[in-house]
A and B are shown apart, each in its own frame.
Chain A
């Protein structure tokens, strides 16, 4: 049972436009949600996070939206730049005994065309 799902394996957008990456989860015990970016031959790099008590968190060009009732989150990148081309992973973690342990989605490959 995959608890974190990224249903779009790839996304292509034009430079300057908005990129929207989506993620769904099934475990209602998740309290924290994170996005990572990964370039080839490198490890994932933490990008932005949100706790379940919020519905939006913004950091520069990156904004994460959380819809708890729908168990859905999204990452918006505005404006998109060619350097944003990478694989984006959604991750989720709980609290208590599961604090700090993250479950990852399969990733979405974003291509930003100049």
Chain B
């Protein structure tokens, strides 16, 4: 397995533009997580899915952020419109549901810069 695959690795966009981040989880994993890492707030959970269903989106900063998981092998995180304060590294991770002792498998992240 190639692990969790995120694309793009880097994204530079202008304020106001729509940004879509993509994630392919590990086959067989039924939980998927979107995290954001910033210097100020560290690693914060944005949203997570179990069996393609959003379970907790309380970490989504505001309505400009949305996430979908149309099937078990694909998820997107969309920001519309983007703002400079959205600049961060966005990580996708997957795991077997409720496997608390086995941890997540993270992707390499998408570094987003909004100018």
State the A residues within 8 Å of B (CB): 31-32, 34, 36, 41-47, 49-51, 89, 91, 93, 95, 99-107
Contact = CB atoms under 8 A, between A and B. Distances in A.
Interface string B90-115: 01010101111111111111000000
Given A43-B106, A89-B43, A32 B97 contact: no
Contacts of B95: 100
A93 B43 contact: no
B98 A99 contact: yes
> How would you classify the secondary structure of chain B's contact residues: helix, strand, loop or mixed?
strand
Contacts of B103: 34, 36, 46-47, 49, 91
A11 B52 CA distance: 40
> How would you classify the secondary structure of chain A's contact residues: helix, strand, loop or mixed?
strand
Contact of A32 (B33, B35, B101): B101
A109 to B, nearest CB: 13
B104 A46 contact: yes
Nearest to B35: A104
Given A100-B100, A101-B56, 16 more contacts: A32-B101, A42-B108, A43-B91, A43-B93, A43-B107, A43-B109, A44-B106, A46-B102, A46-B105, A50-B101, A89-B43, A91-B103, A99-B97, A100-B97, A100-B99, A106-B43
